[in-house]
Structure 1
C-alpha cells in the first residue's frame, strides 16, 4: 500500500485564503504607496513559504515509521501512550514557523480512532505540551498488527489543528492527513522494541525521513 505522492498544488490549500487576502491588501496599498506596501509584501512572502507543501518520496521498507512532519527531534523516550493504553517509545518532532506544516501518515494501516482534546497553548518544544496542549490523536494499526499513534499538538500560537481522516479509513505512508497552522509539534508513539533511527536535535522531513523501524513481530498491544 505504498503509493506515490498525492497530487496537490505546491501551496497547501489551507493557505489559499490567507495568501489571497494578504496579496490583495498588498496590491491595494501598492497603488496608494509602494513604500508603505513593502512590509505587506514581506508578510506575503512569509505566508507563501509557510504554506508550501512539496511532494515527498517515501523510502522502501514495510517496517519503517516515517516522519509525519518537518522539523527537529525534541524527544526520544519510553513513556505511557495514554491514547492506546500501553507503554511505548515516543519520538517527537517540533515544527517552527519556517517548517512545512502539512502532516503525513507515518505508516500504512487502518485508522482505529481519532480523538480531539482541548488544552493549553504552551511552547510546543516543551515536554508538557504533549499532554497539556490542544491536540488531536490518531491511532493506527498496521497490517502486521503494530499499533502506532500520531498526535498533532498545537503550539504557542497555533490555533487550528486540521485532520482529514476518520476511524475505519485505510492510509498509506506519506499520505497527507492533516495540517497544523503555525508553530506546533507531532508526537509518534511506537511499540516497545522499535529501533529509533533519529536522535534529539536531528532535523527531519515528513515522509522522507525514517524515524524508527518497527519490530519484526508485533507484540500484544492494547487500544482503548
Structure 2
C-alpha cells in the first residue's frame, strides 16, 4: 500500500518549487502556450517527438523567465541592463537618433545568447528623455557594426544630477522583436524592467563623460545587479563606495 504525503508536506514542496522556479514575463505566455499545444500534438504522433517538443517547451519557458533581482542602489552607480557577457568596451559616437551629441562616449556592449534571460532593466534612476526606434538589418549581434546597421531601440535616461545615459537594445541574427515598455517623460528606477529582446541580441550602454567603468571585457553580467560604471568617482578623489540593496 502506497502512503501519500500529508497535505502540509505537499504544500511545502509546492512553495519551495515556486521560490526556486522563476515566473515568466507576460511577453512569453503566448509562446509557451503554443509550444505546449504543439508538444501535445507531437506526443499524440510519437512519444519520441513529444519529448523533443517537451524539451523545447522547457527552453521557451526558460527563455522568457523573469526572476527577481536584488539591485544595488547608490548615487551615480550604474548596473547592467542585461544578462550576458561584456563583449566590448570602446569609445564610440552614440546613434544619431538618441540625440545626445556627436562626441564619442564610452560604450559598454553586453551580448546575450539564447540561453540568457532577455528582460532588460534600467541601469540607473532618472527620467526617460527619449525613446527612439530605428529599423535595420539582422546581422550577428556579436559584430561591432551591428551597433550601426541592425534594428534597434534606444532610450535616453537623465538622472536627477543631470547626467545623460543612452541605452540601446539591438536585434541580432535570430532576434526579430524588440519590446520597450517605457515612454518619454516617465520616471524609472534603477533595475526596473523597461523591455526585452526575443531570441538572442545585444544591449549597448553609452556612458556620460567622466564615468568610471567598473567592469571588464569578457565579464558575465546580471541585469539589475552587476555594477558596470560609477558617475561619482573621479580620478584623485576618494569617496564612500558602499551601496545598499533594494
Give the number of the structure whose alpha-carbon radius of gyration is greater. 2
Matched, 1:178 2:195: yes
List 4+ stretches of structure 1 deviating above 2 A.
none
Q: Is contact 2:171–2:200 with CA below 8 Å preserved after alignment?
A: yes
Distance 1:35 1:216 in 2: 58
Equivalent in the alignment of 1:3 = none
Distance 1:33 1:134 in 2: 40
Please, which runs of 5 or more residues in structure 1 have no aligned partner?
Answer: 1-8, 218-224
Cα RMSD (Å): 1.3
Distance 2:213 2:130 in 1: 25
Q: Is contact 2:153–2:178 with CA below 8 Å preserved after alignment?
A: yes
Aligned ranges for residues 17-96 of structure 1 at < 5 Å?
17-82=30-95, 83=98, 84-85=100-101, 86-96=103-113
Displacement of 1:60 in angstroms is 2.5
Distance 2:49 2:189 in 1: 47
Distance 2:47 2:93 in 1: 55
Distance 1:35 1:159 in 2: 30
Equivalent in the alignment of 1:210 = 227
Equivalent in the alignment of 1:4 = none
Q: Is contact 2:93–2:104 with CA below 8 Å preserved after alignment?
A: yes
| Larger helix share, 1 or 2 | 2
Q: Is the partner of 2:130 in helix, strand or coil?
A: strand
Distance 1:184 1:31 in 2: 35
Displacement of 1:216 in angstroms is 5.6
Distance 1:150 1:215 in 2: 19
Q: Deviations over 1:62-119 (max 9, x none)?
A: 2111100000001111221232113311101000000000000111000111000011
Q: Is the partner of 1:123 in helix, strand or coil?
A: coil
Matched, 1:117 2:118: no
Q: Is the partner of 2:33 in helix, strand or coil?
A: helix
Distance 2:41 2:138 in 1: 34
Distance 2:161 2:90 in 1: 23
Please, which runs of 5 or more residues in structure 2 have no aligned partner?
Answer: 1-21, 235-246
TM-score, length-scaled by structure 2:
0.82
Q: Is contact 1:87–1:191 with CA below 8 Å preserved after alignment?
A: no
Distance 2:160 2:205 in 1: 18
Matched, 1:15 2:32: no
Q: Deviations over 1:106-140 (max 9, x none)?
A: 11000111000011111111110111100001011
Equivalent in the alignment of 1:108 = 125
TM-score, length-scaled by structure 1:
0.90
Distance 1:117 1:33 in 2: 44
